[in-house]
A and B are shown apart, each in its own frame.
Chain A
Amino acid sequence: MVSDFLVSREEWGKAIREGLSAAWPICVGYIAIGLAFGVIARKTGLSPLDIGLMSLIVYAGSSQFIAVGMLGAGAGFWPIVLATFSVNLRHLLMSSSLSLYLRNLSGSRLSLFAYAVTDESFALNMSRFQGGNWGWRPALVVNHATNLTWLLSTVAGGIGGQFIPSGAFGIDYALTAMFLCLLVFQVRGLYHVLVALFSGILAVILSLWMPGNGYVLIASFLAASVGLLLRKTTGRKIEQGENA
């Protein structure tokens, strides 16, 4: 019993070190966006407590911006909740993808993990899981360290964000740079290149004529399906070409 406790303590210590050293690029990006969100939300009339509650209960950056924009425009409960639903539906794909690597976890651990699945934590954890040597503990640390960073930055932005110069040290670019590198990790063959190109181009086109960010879900759903079709129909030939 005691030794069990010690083992899991040691494992958690390792997980916290690994998780934090992986999560910092996300945290840097979240500080920038979180402060900006806090400032805007405060200007719309939310108190720092409201801001903290929203970051804790919703924890989804772009939908929080949209909700605050809609609140400012006088929208009520249903329009805001429906907009939030449609903006965050893309997490469905991410959680499906993560489920490949989170086998045999208890329901409560899965539920705790699911709460903090974001574009960023998903992308980072997926690339780590695929590289092997990654488990649910460090992944959970990534999820909740980034969640805590978001919570604190949005509240700080609400309290005193207007005093922080915007664009300091290029922190606005942290997440784009991280996504670029994670995309490089994801592209592991010709099929992935084709899927990424198709998805990106489709997303640009869709984003020009549909409001919100539904284009992420639609483009990536279609691109992955096209990738699957290509692989099923032309599979072996290209595979052999790649290995040669």
Chain B
Amino acid sequence: MKGGIISIIIGMGIVTYIPRWLPLFFLSRRRLPPWLVLWLDFIPAAILSALILPAILTAGTPRQFEWNRLDLWVAIPTLIFALRTRSLAGTVIIGMGLYWLISRLYP
């Protein structure tokens, strides 16, 4: 078991590192075609949205659609705050504070 866990960790490390390393190592020395630059410009917005929406609209394993969750209700004022102030630190503090306060008030 002991040797087993170490080899599993090393295997996990290798397959995790390769996708992180390949594009950085090869693309960053190359002149990229304009369409690829445009495409890559959409990637951050797409990834962030694909991370956030399932996290606030679904729960459980397997995932179920659950719209009435604290994560969603706190996201609305947090998003409005972010749009108004464009302050990362402020948004994180507001989000955490609201989440904590509401989970205290309605346990």
Residue positions of A touching B, CB distance < 8 A? 24-25, 28, 46, 50, 53-54, 57-60, 63, 67, 71, 76-77, 80-82, 84-85, 88-100, 102-105, 107, 110-111, 113-115, 117, 119, 122-123, 126-127, 167-174, 176-187, 191-192, 195-204, 207-209, 211, 215-216, 219-221, 223-225, 227-228, 231-232
Q: Are A177 and B11 interface neighbours, CB within 8 A?
A: no
Q: A85-B15, A179-B52, A204-B57 are in contact. Are A224 and B25 (CB under 8 A)?
A: no
Q: Which of B17, B22, B38, B52 contacts A228 (CB 8 A)?
A: B38
- Chain B residue numbers with a CB within 8 Å of A91 are 16, 19-20
Given contacts A96-B23, A114-B17, A183-B49, 20 further A-B contacts (CB under 8 A): A28-B96, A58-B12, A91-B20, A92-B23, A93-B43, A95-B19, A117-B20, A168-B100, A176-B78, A177-B91, A180-B52, A180-B95, A191-B42, A199-B49, A200-B49, A208-B63, A209-B62, A216-B47, A224-B42, A227-B46
Interface of B, helix, strand, loop or mixed by DSSP: helix
Shortest Cβ gap from B10 to chain A (Å): 6
Q: Which residue of A lies closest to B103 (CB)?
A: A167
12 CB < 8 A contacts A-B: A99-B40, A111-B25, A117-B24, A119-B47, A169-B96, A170-B97, A181-B88, A183-B52, A184-B82, A185-B86, A199-B46, A232-B35
B15, B39, B58, B86: most-surrounded residue (chain A CB, <10 A): B15
Q: Are B42 and A84 interface neighbours, CB within 8 A?
A: no
Q: Which of B25-45 contact A (CB under 8 A)?
A: 25, 27-29, 32, 35, 37-45
Q: Are A58 and B79 interface neighbours, CB within 8 A?
A: no
- Chain B residue numbers with a CB within 8 Å of A232 are 35
Shortest Cβ gap from A238 to chain B (Å): 14
Q: Are B50 and A126 interface neighbours, CB within 8 A?
A: no
Q: Are A114 and B21 interface neighbours, CB within 8 A?
A: yes
Q: Are B48 and A57 interface neighbours, CB within 8 A?
A: no
Q: Are B46 and A220 interface neighbours, CB within 8 A?
A: yes
Q: Which residue of B lies closest to A26 (CB)?
A: B92
